[in-house]
A and B are shown apart, each in its own frame.
Chain A
Amino acid sequence: MSAPVLIGYFDNETQVLDATRAVREAGFTLHDVYTPYAVHGMDDAMGLKPSRLTWVCFGAGLLGCTLAMSLQLYTSVVSWPLNVGGKPFNSFPAFIPVSFELTVLFAALTTVAAFLVRARLFPGSRRPALPRVTDDRFAIAVAPREDPSELNAAEDLMRSHGAVATALLEVAS
């Protein structure tokens, strides 16, 4: 997005959590928060809804299972039924292991794929990370409302919560 956002840097998880909550309660639009590790409580602080990836996972699992089972039934019963060890063409119990494995495979791969897509993570992505947020710093990015001047208010708010530095810059959303 084009409009610059206000970044507030913090050195401490405690402060960044408080600040985030404060910024949001003050009615500012939180662009995002950047942390070196998954900070617990941040989702509530930012008011994020739980992810829907679980449903993707479930669906993909079902799909995998169905595909596996139908492949086995088709090949062993329809396409070319062969008398193997005197067993029925449809040796259902023998088809369970493969079905299970493919269930897991589909579920896992699809979920990860969906995650990468949703989070727009891909090789060659040029998105820059804020200085030291992958190391030991925390950052809050506040998106300006229609009136940029309000950013000053936001800045004060963050400083009051212990921001060690603030900056205005463009951030890829």
Chain B
Amino acid sequence: MSDSLPKYWQSLAERAGDPGGSAQAHDEFAEPLPVGVAATPPDANSRRDFFKLMGLSAAAAMVACQRAPVQKIIPYVARPDEVTPGLALWYASTCNGCSARCGLLLKTRDGRPIKVEGNDEHPVSRGGVCAVGQASVLSLYDASRARFPSRAGTRVAWTELDADVTQALRKAAEAGQGIRVVLPWHLGPTAEAAVKRFLAAYPTARTVRDEPLGELAAIAEAHRVTHGVHAVPDYRFDKATVIASFGADFLGTWVSPVAFTRQYTEARDAAGQRRMARHYQVEAMMTLTGASADRRFVVAPSELPLVLADLVRRLAMKAGRELPGLPTLPAPALDEATREELAKALWAQREGALVVAGGDDVATQVLVNTANALLGNEDRTVSLSAGTALDADALSLEALLTELRAGTVGAVLFLGANPVYTDPRGEELATLLKGVPLTLSTSDRRDETALHVGLHAPEPTALESWGDAVVRQGVVSLRQPAVAPLHETRSAVESLLQWAGAPQAHYDFLRARWEEEVFPQVDAAGLGFGAFWDDALRRGVATLPGARTKAPAFREEGLAKALAGVARPSVDWELVLYPTVAVRDGAVANNGWLQEVADPITKATWGNPACIAPARAEALGLKDGDVVKVRAGGRTVSVPVLVQAGTHPSVIAVPVGYGRTRAGRVADGVGVDVYPLTAVVDGRARRSVPGVTVEATGEQQALALTQTHHRLEGRPHVREAELAAFLANPRAGNEAQSGHGGGGHSLSMWSGHEYKGHRWALAVDLSACTGCSACVVSCQAENNIPSVGREEVLRRREMHWMRIDRYYQGDEANPQVVHQPMMCQHCENAPCETVCPVLATVHSSEGLNQQVYNRCVGTRYCANNCPTKVRRFNWFDYPHDEPLERMVLNPDVVVRSRGVMEKCSMCVQRIQESKAAANREGRPLRDGDIQTACQQSCPAKAIHFGDANDPDSQVARLAKDGRAFRLLEELNIGSSITYLTKIRNTGSGSGT
């Protein structure tokens, strides 16, 4: 990995101490950098490009709302009515980053989408967005995207391509050869309709569903077994009183993390509801979810189904039910008492209990369904009736391969799927494709799969195209473009319709379908479709009260067969391939923001080190960065290890989605591709692989970590309490320590400055924060923070204004974890201000600690004197000069030049904007008018911003709360950030 990594020249210069090379001085990052770097010198006609593209996108913004196909660039002098220069336009839309389909608001300035925010009106995601959703706006401007349709890499016209395709399809159909459309599971009703229309047009056509992480497939399959429906239920963590998760990272990556995070925090709002759902997590490796769990148990992956089966047996016993087919399995590793406690806890709550499991093992999911059925929580914490059905009669990838081997396939169309990269059988697939007359991919770039197909019909990104999605039974989310396609792309829906011989614009098709199928379901009292449609467009979502189908009953017939496979392998090493919160399955890998945001647990950036348990590492004499060879199923991959607390000793866990070869300048060669290690068990890809071998190579490879010390050293920066203790005493765990340990006895020789009017402050609820890092990316997007690349992160120079500190306590085999969002504390007596010789950082009349970039001469004294080390220095000119990628910059925020200090400004541009708005409307500023970027995107709503001088504001109230504490009070810095103690519900009784 290291050799293929971008070699930023200054690292070479430093190693070699080479004083020359000032020639390169002008573009430090001569080679790929996350944020765009112009191959040409920075200023080369960038201005002109800027206006061109601005004009184009301005036109686009108009197009987005009124249907007029516009291809030509409109000079900006002819200003579209909707666009007022300097004012943002917001479009409600739907995220396409994963299968969760959260509601979005797209912020466009002068026609350019520049920021993604959560849609508060969206009933499922409710205003939250994850890191991936935030970053989708950068992917829009990804310079590595395909810009035109192509045949074998050479540009062709759409008409030409369509001719080819239709001809080939006809031929295949006539010859009775199979036509296979490879798709992800979730396309949205409209797209599915288009697919159906396509299938109808070609009798030999069938769908193949493939998703890199087989979670949805496994869940749906399990429900086929236990309930007879091929669907994914709707989980309601907010209604749960006890949660048992078996390796499901539902706060991080599982099914619908944003929605679940919000529900989870509501179920655990100890301060508000005086109660808190207890969360048990049984898992093999430290996940984001496990980090928030009250009780966390570490078991080997192969043990999980056993523990689950044991739980089911105990529940069945309590339910007094006899379950045939529950295999008699060897006793799981987890000790008797714990297993009984778990069963008791769940049984005690019954309908409030919720059992979920991650991974792609059907048997496990079957056990989960059984458990939930025994608990009888259907329609309470888990609702199949509100769930979403998945294409029941789709072929599996294995089936496709068999057909391909048999040579009975005449056409394979990949719609947004990239199996050549994501599947262990990818190589074979690639070779087999050569024999197929028509192969086509619609991926947004010429990715690994597109490389092996004949035709490439690139799709626009979600921000450029229409679409819809069913996020829950009765909730249809609408996706509208915020800009016309930047490139010569066409949505897959339009392509399918075209090839199906019923060409229709995506918009028309969508609108028509809504008119026919969605509108009838709404009791739009009297108002016509037009009004309904406009409203749906505005709100981005439509709720349909339509009668819910009764959930099919649980049936136990299938159990025995489904569980037959469950056995306990005796193994030394087990490989776990997992998605990270940021890069997920790797589809979004070519995105600087997502590569650079530190993994919430490992704190790793720009790579996928393999997590192993401290004990195991010690036994093998391995330390961070030691490269090991992992051999599985005859394939070997070399990957650096990272000693990760809370990992099961037999586990080596490696993130997928790295080591891309055709993703683009940012992702190519970053990390290692471990997909090939995936096991294939009777046709299904399995990302938990027992029986792998791990051997040290003796090589070393530096890990780009943003945090290298993980213990608090007994310092009171984070305070927490046990639920019981907290209910008894709201100040539990937050008793002001005397002396230097913390607590405030601030003596001052003078009264201090007065803050008339506003005084801005933040409050961060450590109890709500799960560490998902959405805020970090949101901050980066809002404030034009550059991604600096692996080499710079290695030198501890990441530029994030906001970071999430993660600390461990207790046993490193299974530690307690706490996340602490850390940003500028805007101290009243800011140490940084006093030491700046040129007054480049001073205090505003509204209590903000301001950094004046153009006055800064860069002595870095302020950063040295910052007790929380939140200031960031521009060591080089971190480039923002790739013409296309520069379009994402927020015009309200200065782009900092080399040699100046920068830091969190509490989104002062948003403060000013809202103040101006209130002013225009001649009303006082209301609490909540202003939302900082981090606050807005937080799925857990853990961050609150407001005016501390307004006694009724939420921050003012929280600041008086018993849980409130401030950092380093003994220094009398007078931090403006209030932290609220973390409450745990471990049942251990005593607070910490």
Binds B, one of A32-40, A85-93, A99-107, A155-163: A85-93
Contact, CB under 8 Å: A85 / B839: no
Query: Judging by beta carbons under 8 Å apart, are B753 and A85 in contact?
Result: no
Which A residues lie at the B interface, using CB under 8 A?
Answer: 82-88
The 5 closest A-B pairs by CB, nearest first: A85-B834, A86-B829, A85-B833, A83-B843, A84-B833
Q: Are B828 and A86 within 8 A (Cβ)?
A: yes
B80: CB under 8 A from chain A?
no
Q: Does any Cβ of A come within 8 Å of B842's Cβ? A: yes
Closest A residue to B845 by beta carbon equals A83
B843 surroundings in chain A (CB, below 8 A): 82-86
Cα distance, A116 to B700, chains bound together (Å): 69
Would you mind naming 17 contact pairs between A and B with Cβ atoms under 8 Å apart? A82-B839, A82-B842, A82-B843, A83-B753, A83-B842, A83-B843, A84-B833, A84-B834, A84-B842, A85-B833, A86-B752, A86-B753, A86-B828, A86-B833, A86-B843, A86-B974, A87-B829
Are B750 and A84 neighbours in the complex by a CB distance under 8 Å? no
A82 to B844, alpha carbons, bound, how many Å? 9
**CB nearest to A86 among chain B residues:** B829
Residues of B within 8 A of A85 (CB): 829-834, 843
Closest to B829 in A: A86
- List CB contacts (< 8 Å) of B818-841 with chain A: 827-834, 836, 839
B828 cross-chain contacts in A, Cβ below 8 A: 86
Q: A83-B843, A83-B844 are in contact. List 14 more A-B contacts (CB 8 A).
A: A82-B839, A82-B842, A82-B843, A84-B836, A84-B843, A85-B829, A85-B831, A85-B834, A85-B843, A86-B829, A86-B830, A86-B843, A87-B829, A87-B834
Interface residues of B in 843-894 (CB under 8 A from A): 843-845
Q: Report the nearest A residue to B828, measured CB to CB.
A: A86
Measured CB to CB, the closest approach of chain A to B68, in angstroms, equals 53
Bound: A86/B755 CA distance, A: 11
Complex Cα distance, B752 from A87, in Å, reads 7
Q: Roughly how many angstroms separate A30 CA and B839 CA in the complex, as a whole number? A: 61
Q: Could you say which residues of chain A place their CB within 8 Å of the CB of B832?
A: 85
Complex Cα–Cα for A83 and B845 (A): 8
Whole-angstrom distance between the Cβ of B257 and the nearest chain A Cβ: 41
By secondary structure, the B interface counts as loop
**Smallest CB–CB gap between B848 and chain A, Å?**
10
Contacting pair A88 B750 (CB below 8 A): yes
Measured CB to CB, the nearest residue on chain B to A88 is B750
Q: How far is the CA of A88 from the CA of B751 in the complex (A)?
A: 9
> CA A78 – CA B260 in complex, angstroms?
56
CB proximity to A under 8 Å, residues B181-240: none
Residues of B within 8 A of A82 (CB): 839, 842-843
Kindly list chain A residues whose C-beta atoms are within 8 Å of the C-beta of B752. Answer: 86
Q: Are B839 and A84 in contact (CB under 8 A)?
A: yes
In Å, the complex CA distance between A84 and B752 comes to: 11
Contacting A at CB under 8 A, from B714-750, are 750
For A87, the chain B residues whose CB sits under 8 A away are 829, 834
Name the interface size band of chain B.
10 to 19
Residues of B within 8 A of A84 (CB): 833-834, 836, 839, 842-843
Complex interface: chain B residues within 8 A of A86 (CB) = 752-753, 827-830, 833, 843, 974
- The docked-state distance in angstroms from the alpha carbon of A164 to that of B33 is 87
C-alpha spacing A135/B831, complex, angstroms: 60
CA distance A113 to B752 in the complex (A): 45
Nearest opposing residue in chain A for B841, CB measure: A84
Q: Once bound together, how far apart are the Cα atoms of A120 and B692, in whole Å?
A: 94
Distance of A84 Cα from B838 Cα, bound (Å): 11
- Quote the shortest CB–CB distance from B755 to chain A (angstroms): 9
**CB of A155 to closest CB in B, whole Å:** 67
Most buried by B among A84, A85, A88: A85
Across-interface contacts of B844 in A (CB, < 8 A): 83
Q: CB-CB < 8 A to A83: which residues of B? A: 753, 842-845
Cα-based distance from A59 to B844 in the complex (angstroms):
41
Assembly CA distance A134 to B828 (angstroms): 66
Nearest-Cβ distance from residue A104 to partner chain B, whole angstroms:
21
Q: How far is the CA of A88 from the CA of B753 in the complex (A)?
A: 7
| Closest chain A CB from B251 CB (angstroms) | 39
Residue of B827, B834, B836, B845 ringed by the most chain A CB atoms within 10 A:
B834
Taken together as a complex, chains A and B put the C-alpha atoms of A84 and B829 apart, in Å, by 8
Residue of A82, A83, A84 with most partner-chain B CB within 10 A: A83
> Which residues from A are CB-within-8-Å of B974?
86
**Interface set, chain B 359-417, CB cutoff 8 A to A:** none
> Can you list, as one digit per residue, whether each of B163-195 has a CB less than 8 Å from chain A (1) or not (0)?
000000000000000000000000000000000
Nearest CB in chain A to that of B832: its residue: A85
Q: Which residue of B is nearest A76, CB measured?
A: B839
Rounded to whole Å, the gap between the CB of A86 and the closest CB of chain B is: 4
A69 to B845, CA, bound (A): 27
Per the bound structure, the CA–CA distance linking A86 and B844 in Å amounts to: 10
**Within the complex, what minimum Cβ distance (angstroms) separates B586 from chain A?**
47
Expressed in whole angstroms, the minimum distance between the Cβ of A74 and any Cβ of chain B is: 15
Q: How far is the CB of A130 from chain B (nearest CB, A)?
A: 53
**Measured between alpha carbons, how far is A91 from B832 in the docked complex, in Å?**
16
State A140–B798 Cα separation when bound (angstroms): 78
Q: What distance in Å separates the Cβ of A92 from its nearest Cβ neighbour in chain B?
A: 11
Nearest chain A residue, comparing its CB with the CB of B834: A85
Task: Provide the bound-state CA to CA distance between A87 and B831, in Å.
Answer: 10
Q: Which of B751-775 contact A (CB under 8 A)?
A: 752-753
| Bound Cα distance A85, B839 (Å) | 10
Nearest CB of A to B53, in Å: 40
Task: State in angstroms the CA–CA spacing of A83 and B833 once bound together.
Answer: 9
The distance from the CB of A131 to the nearest CB of chain B, in whole angstroms, is: 55
A76 to chain B, nearest CB (A): 10
- The residue on A at minimum CB distance from B753 is A83
Q: How far is the CB of A169 from chain B (nearest CB, A)?
A: 59
Across the two chains, which residue of chain B brings its CB closest to A91?
Answer: B834
**CA distance in complex: A78, B850 (Å):** 21
Rounded to whole angstroms, the CA-CA distance of A83 and B830 in the bound complex is: 10
Residue of B nearest to A93 (CB): B749
How far, in Å, is A54 (CB) from chain B's closest CB?
A: 35
The residues of A that contact B845 with a CB separation of less than 8 Å are 83
Q: Which of A82, A84, A87 has the most CB of B within 10 A?
A: A84
CA distance A82 to B845 in the complex (A): 9
Rounded to whole angstroms, the CA-CA distance of A85 and B750 in the bound complex is 13
Nearest-Cβ distance from residue B761 to partner chain A, whole angstroms: 15
A87–B833 Cα distance when bound, in Å, is 10
Measured between alpha carbons, how far is A36 from B829 in the docked complex, in Å?
62
- Min Cβ gap A55→B in Å is 36
- Among residues of B, the one whose C-beta sits closest to the C-beta of A94 is B834
- A83 to B753 CA separation, bound complex (whole angstroms): 8
Instruction: Report the minimum CB–CB distance from A24 to chain B (whole Å).
Output: 58
B839 surroundings in chain A (CB, below 8 A): 82, 84
Complex formed: what's the CA distance from A84 to B828 in Å? 9
Among residues of A, the one whose C-beta sits closest to the C-beta of B865 is: A85
CA distance A87 to B830 in the complex (A): 9
Residues of chain A with a CB closer than 8 A to B753's CB: 83, 86
In the assembled complex, the Cα of A28 lies from the Cα of B108 at a distance in Å of: 99
Question: Within the assembled complex, what's the spacing in Å between the Cα atoms of A41 and B304?
Answer: 104
Measured CB to CB, the closest approach of chain B to A89, in angstroms, equals: 9
Q: In whole angstroms, what is the CA distance A86 to B829 when docked?
A: 4
In the assembled complex, the Cα of A84 lies from the Cα of B833 at a distance in Å of: 5
Question: How many angstroms between the C-alpha atoms of A96 and B830 in the bound complex?
Answer: 22
Return A144 CB to nearest CB of chain B, in Å.
Answer: 63
For A83, the closest partner residue in chain B by CB is B843
- Nearest residue (CB) in A for B750 is A88
Q: What is the bound-complex CA distance between A83 and B839, given in angstroms?
A: 10
What separation, in Å, do the CA atoms of A86 and B825 have in the docked complex?
14
- B749, closest chain A residue (CB): A88
Chain B residue with the shortest CB-CB distance to A82? B842
Q: Give bound CA distance, A83 to B831, whole Å.
A: 12
How far, in whole Å, are A87 and B845 apart by their CA atoms in the complex?
14
Kindly state the separation between the CA atoms of A85 and B849 in the bound complex, as whole angstroms. 9
Min CB distance B920 to A, Å, is 29
Chain A positions within 8 Å of B827 at CB level: 86
Residues of A within 8 A of B842 (CB): 82-84
* Separation of A86 and B753 alpha carbons in the complex (Å): 6
Q: A84–B836 Cα gap in the complex (Å)? A: 9
